[in-house]
Amino acid sequence: MQRSDGFHTFPSPGGHLCGLAWDGSHLWHSDGTANRIYRIDRSSGEVLGDIACDNVRTCLAFDGRFLWQIAGTPKRIRVIDPDGGRTMREIELPEDAESVCALTIDDHSYWLGSKTTGIVQRRDRTTHAVMRTLQTQGSVHGLAIAGNVLWYTDYPASALVAMEINSQREFFRRELPGHPTGLCSDGERLWYCDYTHQAIVALDLRASE
């Protein structure tokens, strides 16, 4: 459903909304109670398929071939083949793994965000070495990268925030109607999980200006 304030929303398939990713054609959404990852049509919200994933914890990302899901106890990244749901490998998280909540991927690296410290780390996809550390002014629950802009959702503040990566300057903050978790971009709009209202929401920032 499209609203006049720039939001497009549809109900989530489950009740414990965790991660959200875009694969170039469809949205993928992970649920922490159902322990499943759903493939969703972004226009209608129709669930087109799903795969099992034990102990879903928080965010989800797509690397161009595989899904990366933060899962398990302690938290780690589970790399999953979307065709059938087979786990290809697992990636350990830092010592403070339980604070890691957000995840996104670009061409050569992946980004991790902490819900407790607000720190975002960029890591090499091959060596996992830390390439850059950024300090946000919030609690990071979802991440998306667009050029030199880092977008994140702040669950306690009910906010969507944008920060310039080079200067680490926050230049955009919008209060949201619910508490947001997972975040991704489809190249046209930002999508986030609204945990409060159990919905998946797209925000066209141009329409909301």
Cβ proximity of 200 and 21 under 8 Å: no
State pLDDT tens for residues 131-155.
999 999 999 999 999 999 999 999 9
SS3 state at 98: helix
Nearest to 65 by CA among 12, 23, 15, 124: 23
Hunting for tokens 């141009």 — which residue is that? 206
The token pair that represents 191 in the structure block: 């999508």
Cis, bond preceding 13 (omega within 30 deg of 0): no
Terminal Cα-to-Cα distance of the chain (whole angstroms): 19
Residue 2 DSSP label: B
* CA 106 to chain centroid: 13
Question: What is the share, in percent, of the chain residues with pLDDT greater than 70?
Answer: 95
Hunting for tokens 């786990």 — which residue is that? 87
SS3 state at 147: coil
pTM, two decimals, is: 0.94
Supply the mean pLDDT for the chain.
94
Residues 6+ away with beta carbon under 8 Å from 83 = none
Question: What is the share, in percent, of the chain residues with pLDDT greater than 90?
Answer: 91
Read out DSSP for 4-44? Answer: TTSEEEEE-SSSSEEEEEE-SS-EEEEETTTTEEEEE-TTT
Residues 6+ away with beta carbon under 8 Å from 140 = 101, 102, 113, 114, 115, 118, 119, 120, 152, 153, 154
Angle at 191 between CA 147 and CA 127, to 5 degrees: 50
pLDDT at 208 exceeding the cut of 90: no
pLDDT at 7 exceeding the cut of 80: no
Domains in the chain: ranges and CATH: 1-92 (2.40.10.480), 99-183 (2.40.10.480)
State pLDDT tens for residues 76-120.
999 999 999 999 999 999 889 999 999 999 989 999 999 999 999
